[in-house]
Amino acid sequence: MAENKYITLISAEGHEFVVLREAALVSPTIKGMLRGPFVEAQTGRCRFEEIPSPVLEKVVEYFHYWYRYRDKEDVPDMEIPVEMCLELLQAADFFNLDAMQTHRNTL
């Protein structure tokens, strides 16, 4: 089955974010959703009812940031808005974007 190069993430408010599949696979959570007998795996659309748009937007930004720098040294830090920090932290936990894990998965 030919997989689409992009997948769609949908926020609580219904905003849709189109992401490079390979970049979004950093998240074990999304990987799990796309690798199973789930609707998400067939349609390539993942709905996140509990994540508001601004947070999901930032997460998507991170996906691409990660993808861009996946094998680089001296990576500049991504800017995290202070006011969004805690919410983003929760989202990071939800998406399982934990320390080191991301790197190992790609090796």
Partner 1 sequence: MSRQNRQQRRIVGPQSALTDFLASHNISANQIRLDAEARRRAAQIDDQQGDANTHSNGQSSAASPAASPAVDASPAQTTRARRSAGTSRREEEARKKEQKAIDKIKASKKFQKRKRGLADSEDEDDLARLLMQRSAPLPGQMENCELCGTRFTVTPYTRNGPNGGLLCNPCGKELAKDDAAAKKKVKRASGGAVGNRRQVQSKILDGTYSLGAKSLMTLCIETLAKNIDLAEDLGDLPPQIIDKIARKLSKHRLLNPTTLSLFLQPTAEEVCVYDGAKLGSDDFIRIFQTVPGLKKLKIRNGIHFRDEVLDYLISRHIRLEEFYIHGANLLSESKWKEFLQHKGDSLRSLCVYWTDKHFGNEVLSLLQTTCPSLTRLKVCHNQQVTDVGVAALGNLKSLRHLSLDLRNEIHPDVYVDLLSKIGANLETLSLARVHGADNTVLDAIHRHCRSLAKLRITDSEEMTDAGFVRLFKDWANPGLVFADLQKCRQLDSAHPRENPDGIGLCSGGFRALMEHSGKTLKHLNVHGCRHIEAAAFEEVFAPGKVYDAMTKLEISFCEEVTDFVVGSIFRSCPNLRELNVFGCMKVKDVRVPRGKILVGVPNAKGMVIEGDDDGEE
- Chain positions contacting partner 1, by CB under 8 A: 59, 62, 65-66, 68-78, 80, 82, 85-86, 88-93, 95, 97-103, 106-107
Nearer Cβ to partner 1 (35/68) = 68
Burial 26-62 (b: 16+ CB within 10 A, else e): bbebbeebbeeeeebbeebebbbeebeebbbbbbbeb
CB of 52 to partner 1, least distance (A): 15
Q: Measure the CA–CA gap between 67 and 89, rounded to whole angstroms.
A: 19
CB of 29 to partner 1, least distance (A): 12
Nearer Cβ to partner 1 (38/69) = 69
